[in-house]
Structure 1
Amino acid sequence: MAVHDGPDPMHAAAIDDAAQALLFAWDQAREQVTPRLSWPQLNALLAVERAEGVNLGGLAAELNMLLSSASRLCDRLVANGMVERVPGRADRREIALYLTPSSRALLAELRRIRRRALTETLERMSGAGRASLLRGLTEFAAASVETGKDAAAAARSA
Structure 2
Amino acid sequence: MTDEIDDVVDAVMTASRAMLSVVARSLAAAGEPSGGSAGEVTLPQYRALVVLAQHGTRRPADLATALAVSASTATRMCDRLVGRGLVERARTGDDRREVALVLSPAGRALVDEVTRLRRAEMHRLLATLPAAERVAVRDALRRFADAAGEVGETDWAVAPLGTEGGAR
TM-score tier, shorter chain, comes to: 0.7 to 0.9
1:81 aligns with 2:85: yes
Amino acid in structure 2 at the alignment position of 1:77: L
Q: Paired residue for 2:9?
A: 12
Pick the aligned partner of 2:147 from 139, 143, 146: 143
Stretch moving more, 88-97 or 116-125: 88-97
CA deviation string 1:57-91 (max 9, x = no partner): 11111111111111111111111101110000253
Note the C-alpha offset of 1:92. 3.1
Task: Give the superposition deviation at 1:21.
Answer: 2.1
Distance 1:51 1:18 in 2: 26
Q: Which has the higher contact order (CA 8 A, sep 6+)?
A: 2
Q: Secondary structure at the match of 1:53?
A: coil
User: Aligned to 2:121, which of 88, 111, 117?
Assistant: 117
Taking a change above 3 Å as real, the CA distance of residues 56 and 18 of structure 1, as seen in their structure-2 partners, is: closer
Runs of 4 or more consecutive aligned structure 1 residues displaced over 3 Å after TM superposition: 4-7
The CA deviation at 1:55 is 0.7
SS at match of 2:39: coil
CA radius of gyration, larger in: 1
Q: In structure 1, what residue type is equivalent to 2:84?
A: N
Amino acid corresponding to residue 24 of structure 1 in structure 2: S
TM, length-normalised to structure 1:
0.83
The percent of aligned pairs where both chains have the same amino acid is: 32
Structure with the higher helix share, 1 or 2: 1
In structure 2, stretches of 5+ residues that fail to align are 31-37, 151-168
Show structure 1 runs of 5+ residues with no match.
147-158
The alignment's TM-score, normalised by the length of structure 2, stands at: 0.79
Q: 3-state DSSP class of the match of 1:92?
A: strand
Q: Distance in 1 between matches of 2:131 and 2:24?
A: 26
